[in-house]
Amino acid sequence: MASQPVKEMFGQLIANYSLVSGNYELLREAEIYLSMIPAMLEEKGKLQEYSTILSDLEKRYDSAVKTIDDFQGGWKVSRMQIRHIRKEALKIALKENLVVLRQDMVSLNQMNRTLDDPEED
């Protein structure tokens, strides 16, 4: 089972790519999904269950790599494939609880709420 820090790190890796727009950066984001999710699923013993979807995503990734430099319009198809990878991969990650996408900020008001009074010693 993936530990909490690993899930947080995965969420952080994804978050780092949430604002990027370059073709190669999007490819790298897809690589993160396709390397981390199968590993985490294997750890959980659920890799077999998702093998068809994952091999489809791998194929889409390969075709995206082939066409990403095609200035005739192939890169647009490539980006569509990557978007599909992102959608499906996130669906699996959230369903199988593999990722922590956001951690709530800690509030000062939650700290030291119940304190004893020294005057009553």
Partner 1 sequence: MLRRGNSELIKQGARITKELITHFPKSGGEVAGLWAEQGSGKTAFLVTVAGRTAYFNEKNRRLMKETVIWRGRPKDNWHLVEGKKFCVHIHFLDEIEFLDKNGTPITDLQIFKYDTAEDIIKNLKRGWVNVYYEPQNYLMDEELVEEIRKKQFIDTFPEVADPIFFTYELVYYIERYKRHDEFITFIIDEADELFEANPEGIKHHLQSWFRKTCLRDLRKSKLSFILASHDYREIDYRIMFKLMNKIYFPSAAIPPARYKSAIRKKDFAMRLKMGQYLIEKKGNFGIAEYDEINTDNSVRAVWIKQK
Q: How far is the CB of 111 from partner 1 (least distance, A)?
A: 6
What is the spatial distance between Cα 121 and Cα 119, in angstroms, rounded to a whole number?
6
Sequence length of the chain is: 121
**Closest approach of partner 1 to the CB of residue 45, in Å:** 27
* Shortest distance, position 25 Cβ to partner 1, whole Å: 13
For the CA atoms of the chain, what is the radius of gyration?
20
What the block records as the tokens of 92 is 């699996």
**Shorter beta-carbon distance to partner 1: residue 9 or 34:** 9
C-alpha–C-alpha distance, residues 23 and 52, integer Å: 26
11/74 with CB nearer partner 1: 11
Residues that bind partner 1 (CB under 8 A): 8-9, 11-13, 15-16, 100, 103-109, 111-113, 115-119
